[in-house]
Amino acid sequence: MQMNLVKWSRIRSPWVFHFNAGGCNGCDIEILASLMPRYDIERFGMILRGSPRHADVMLVTGTVTRQIIPRLKRIYEQIPDPKFTLAIGNCACSGGVFQQCYNVHEGADKAIPVDVYIPGCPPRPQAIIDGAVKLLQKISKS
C-alpha cells in the first residue's frame, strides 16, 4: 500500500532541478517558457527546485565538458533515489555544434544515466512538455 502511495506521489508531483552545463542559454530560456502560464508544465506537478536534495528529476542543458563532469556527477549523486534525468537540447544530447572538440564529451549520457532525450537547438516548450510526459509514463510503468 505504501509503495503505491510513493509511486503515485512521484508521478503526480516530480520536482525538478535544472543543471546548466554551459552554453548559449537558449535551452534555459525555453525551460522557463515551459514553466510560464502559456505552456504551464506545472500542471503535471513539475515544480522547479533550487536544491538537488529536494528533486526527483534533473534537467541537464548545455555542453558537457571535461571540467563540468565532476560537478555534474556530484550533483547527480545528491539527488535521492530513484532519480531521473532529462537531457534537453542538442548540446546535452550529443555535444551539439561542439561535438568532437578536444574538451567536449558527446552528451550528458557519457557522465550520468539519461532517461529521456529532448533534441533541438533550442527545443520548443512543447517538446520539453512532451519529454516530461514521456518521463512520467516511464515512471508509471516501472
The 10s digit of each residue's pLDDT in 13-45 is 788 899 998 878 888 889 889 888 888 888 888
Residues 31, 116: Cα–Cα separation, whole Å: 15
pLDDT at 41: 84
Cell digits for 28?
A: 534555459
Question: Could you tell me the residue ranges of all domains in the chain?
Answer: 18-105+117-133
pTM of the model: 0.86
Say yes or no: domain 18-105+117-133 is CATH 3.40.50.300.
no
What pLDDT was estimated at residue 6? Answer: 67
- CA 119 to chain CA mean position, Å: 12
* Upstream peptide bond of 37 is cis (omega within 30 degrees of 0): no
| Per-residue pLDDT band at 1 (split at 50, 70, 90) | low
Q: How far apart are the first and last CA of the chain?
A: 16
Half-sphere exposure (Cβ direction) of 92: Cα atoms closer than 13 Å: 34
Structure confidence by residue, pLDDT tens digits, 59-99 = 999 888 889 899 999 999 999 888 899 999 988 888 887 78
CB 111 within 8 A of CB 74: no
